[in-house]
Chains A and B, each alone.
Chain A
Amino acid sequence: MDATRAFLRHPSGMVGLVVLLVVVVIALIAPIVFPVSPWEMVSAPFTPPGEDGLLLGGDTLGRDVAAGVAYGARVSLVIGIASAMAAMVIGVTIGAISGYFGGKVDLVLMRMTELFQTIPAFVLAILLVATFNPSLLTIILTIGAVSWPPLARLTRAEFLRLRNREFVEAALCQGEGTLRIVLGHILPNAISPILVVTSLTVATAILLESALSFMGLGDPNLMSWGFMIGAGRTVIRNAWWMSVFPGLAILITVLAINLFGEGLSDVLNPRVSRRRS
């Protein structure tokens, strides 16, 4: 594929991809490297990094921070990707219907989208998580439910651009059905920017999840980065490592996803990629 080859030559995109792969590998091998649960108290409380065999130190209860960071990667990635997918499904469906049919349908759907856009995403997320019991599934659905509006708007714009193109009209004249035209002709031509925005949504989803966990609204059974920062925040002056390492993990992962997303955007945008080559 041309796009793949172009991406391999995109410097910052490749940096993002490599870092992201490292995070994925860490998430995958976490149970092998840290066979003991991250909730287990393995040393004295407040063990500084490097001492007592703990690479990144221990937390207020003597739990291994390194294990927490590694297990947290699994939570962050799963929630980030799954909720971005949820947002994509909701956003693309609403945007596609709105853009293709136009008129009153468009009006109603777009006003609804605006309603979601005017409520701050984080406040809405807190409200939803607090209403339902925080669990992996509800967190994913909540983040999905607050992240779809930009995707809906983008999809609508792409559909508006494409629906009156001659090849779409030709398909209509050929007797193809609405669903076939939408899925077979319009969506494939609109997919590039949608993929890019979805990849960037993964990053914001990870941040949202961390913020929720920080406020104690995460899944209580999962060791996540946000939870670790929240737990270590009160003692940050005497035990910086408890919040700094999970914080760095969030920073690096989100940055990597953004770099990857931007690289993807450059490669999939024909005008930019042509200028490059």
Chain B
Amino acid sequence: MSDTVQAKAPVLSVEGLSIALPEGGDRPFAVENVSFEVKPNEVVCLVGESGSGKSMIAHAVLSLLPKSVNIAAGAVTVAGQNPAKLDRQALRRLRGGEAAMIFQEPLSSLNPLKRVGRQIEEMILTHQKPMPSAIEVHERVQQLLTQVGLPNPKLLEKSYPFELSGGQRQRVMIAMAMANRPALLIADEPTTALDVTTQRQILRLIDDLRRDRGMGVLLITHDFGVVADVADRVVVLRHGKVVEQGTVEEVLRNPKAEYTRELIDAVPKARLDEIRRTAVHPTPLLEVIGLEKTFRVKRGLLQPPREVVAADGISLTLHEGETLAVVGESGSGKSTLGRMIMRLTEPDGGAIRFNGQDLRRLRGEALRQARKQLQIVFQDPFASLDPRQKVGDAIARGPMAFGTSRTEAMELARKLLVRVGLNAVAADRYPHEFSGGQRQRICIARALALKPRVLIADEAVSALDVSVQAQVLALLAELRQEMKLAMIFITHDLRIAAEIADRVIVLQKGRIVEEGATADVFTAPQAAYTRDLLDAIPGRDFFDQPGFASVTGALPTARMSS
């Protein structure tokens, strides 16, 4: 095979692809008349919101579509072959050989019962003919693990997936994908489940490998920040149709389609100049003093229990009408903090003072009364509504538990549903009839039904599409004003924190590493960790954010782009 000829032809071309959905779906085609190409040494981003059909296309490329959907028209060509027309043998050679794929959730893509070294070996052994010797394979595994930047490959190849962190697992997945030097790498939301700093490392790794090997990359994402950082060309999808495609510069600087513009506008941009400074009341509404919490995970009989410090002397204050963002990566203890304030998780030590009483001393009825004034909105809008309870009931239950009559409570529920932007008739429907964003609105309505004074939003918009995210954030900002709510906004996304908060607390391993007014934290971060976090925000260069300039200037070497 002559590489020079191959290098010019696209590694992937999708021409007029239409994928039919089974009858009774919400639309006849998952994707309709989609055409694009991926050339060698090129990163093409497929961008769209959930349900836009972007993953469908990726699955069609490797002929992984579920049985109930099939290609209605058009063709996919991967390295000169049409996967839909290949027999099983040839298809197996293509998958993991010419074209490799990595997925969003690395934990569920790895076999939990096999050491990662074995899993990579398997990848090589199924594809290399003639079968290489055991020593060669082993060397190759070591080499791959080193290439994907994993420390101590000798130890690592003997680990099981559960022993690795999310970022390490994704690196192992990438090593597997790289095992047979594919011409095309398909990455389906490879960093969505990862922290920002890890995200940046993984994206950089993919970018480096791409450049080393001249590989074509099809990157599927919903995040325009990621697009701005790594893509050469962009394909914007909506409802299965291509809305716009072109180079990054064209599409992001001068979007032609209205929809693309909306999506780009919806990216939280930390408009620091718009931030309001509220007049602070002298006495805080909520005061957390020296909160401690350590989780002990039992291991084997003889091993000492593993300790995870979730809170190590956390103190904070929250005033009426103020919004405090708690930011940090997964495992920093930010969700535990919210749960401890709600008394859903019992702290080991410290005090939580709300309106003069110590919440930690409250039991039974007194706790119930206090909880009424503190409400929480959870991250996953699908898990936080009882699937067997009508939406109206879900909202009305709270007031009813405090003695409001059913008719009055239902009246309030309908009013709240309208207030959060839904229809009053939604009250008689079940949660599964609503989309993620709508469900989150329902959860907000439920939390507000008890007229709380403090609202804790635990990653409340993280599971939503960007455009929906922007709407829900706007709603929260309005409600905050209207009901004089104090808010604790827990998030891993610094852009969102900057958008909504008056003050920010940065958590790392259960400790507050930085605390201050939003503008100060974002423009003049004191802690190195805060700078790392800020620097890892995807698309920083592109969405030139007013306040961020100084950080970027201060740390030019730590940047992602070439």
Contacts and interface: CB of A to CB of B under 8 A. Distances in A.
Interface stretch (B172-180, B218-226, B384-392): B384-392
A175 B372 contact: yes
Contact of B384 (A166, A177, A184, A189): A166
**Main SS at interface, chain B:** loop
Given A166-B378, A180-B401, A189-B388, A173 B342 contact: yes
A250 B217 CA distance: 65
Nearest to A165: B383
B295 interface: no
Interface string A147-184: 00000000000000000011111111111110010001
B353 interface: no
25 contacts: A165-B383, A166-B380, A167-B384, A167-B385, A167-B386, A168-B386, A169-B376, A169-B384, A170-B443, A171-B397, A173-B342, A173-B375, A173-B376, A173-B447, A174-B401, A174-B450, A175-B372, A175-B398, A175-B402, A175-B450, A176-B397, A176-B398, A176-B401, A185-B389, A189-B388
A50 interface: no
A120 interface: no
A173 B368 CA distance: 8
A188 interface: yes
Given A175-B398, A175-B401, A170 B384 contact: yes
Interface of B: 342, 344, 368-369, 371-372, 374-376, 378, 380, 383-389, 397-398, 401-402, 443, 446-447, 449-450
A169 B345 CA distance: 11
A167 B344 CA distance: 13
Contacts of B397: 171, 174, 176
Given A169-B378, A188-B388, A189-B388, A174 B383 contact: no
Given A165-B383, A166-B378, A173 B371 contact: yes
A184 B400 CA distance: 14
Given A173-B376, A175-B398, A166 B342 contact: no
Contacts of A167: 383-387
B443 A177 contact: no
Nearest to A162: B386
Nearest to A186: B386
Nearest to B431: A167
B45 to A, nearest CB: 32
Given A166-B383, A169-B344, A169-B378, A174 B398 contact: yes
Q: Is the interface of A mostly helix, strand, loop or mixed?
A: helix
Interface residues of A, number: 18
Given A174-B398, A175-B368, A180-B401, A185 B344 contact: no
Contacts of B344: 169, 172-173
A59 B169 CA distance: 72
Nearest to B367: A175
Candidate in A168, A169, A189 with the most chain B CB atoms within 10 angstroms: A169
Contacts of B450: 174-175
Contacts of B376: 169-170, 173
A136 to B, nearest CB: 36
Contacts, number: 59
B61 to A, nearest CB: 25
Given A166-B378, A175-B371, A180-B401, A185 B446 contact: no
A219 to B, nearest CB: 40
A221 B387 CA distance: 49
Contacts of B378: 166, 169-170
Nearest to A187: B388
A1 to B, nearest CB: 13
A162 to B, nearest CB: 10
A140 to B, nearest CB: 31
Given A166-B380, A176-B397, A171 B375 contact: no
Nearest to B371: A173
Nearest to A174: B398
Interface in A27-60: none
Contacts of A184: 389
A103 to B, nearest CB: 12
Contacts of B369: 175
Contacts of A169: 344, 376, 378, 384
- Among A168, A175, A184, find the residue whose CB has the most chain B CB atoms closer than 10 A: A175
Contacts of A177: 401
A209 to B, nearest CB: 35
Interface in A88-147: none
Given A166-B378, A171-B386, 11 more contacts: A167-B383, A167-B384, A169-B384, A172-B371, A173-B374, A173-B375, A173-B376, A173-B447, A174-B449, A180-B401, A188-B386
B443 A189 contact: no
Contacts of A176: 397-398, 401
A160 to B, nearest CB: 16
B356 to A, nearest CB: 20
Contacts of B446: 170, 174
A59 to B, nearest CB: 52
Q: List the 5 shortest-distance A-B pairs measured between CB atoms, nearest first.
A: A174-B398, A166-B384, A175-B401, A166-B378, A167-B386
Nearest to A177: B401
Contacts of B401: 174-177, 180
Contacts of B368: 175
A95 to B, nearest CB: 19
A185 B455 CA distance: 23
A168 B372 CA distance: 15
A173 B443 CA distance: 12
A177 B371 CA distance: 13
A176 B385 CA distance: 15
Nearest to B375: A173
A177 B375 CA distance: 16
A169 to B, nearest CB: 6
Nearest to B344: A169
Contacts of B398: 174-176
Contacts of A180: 401
A189 B380 CA distance: 18
A23 to B, nearest CB: 32
Nearest to B377: A170
B451 to A, nearest CB: 12
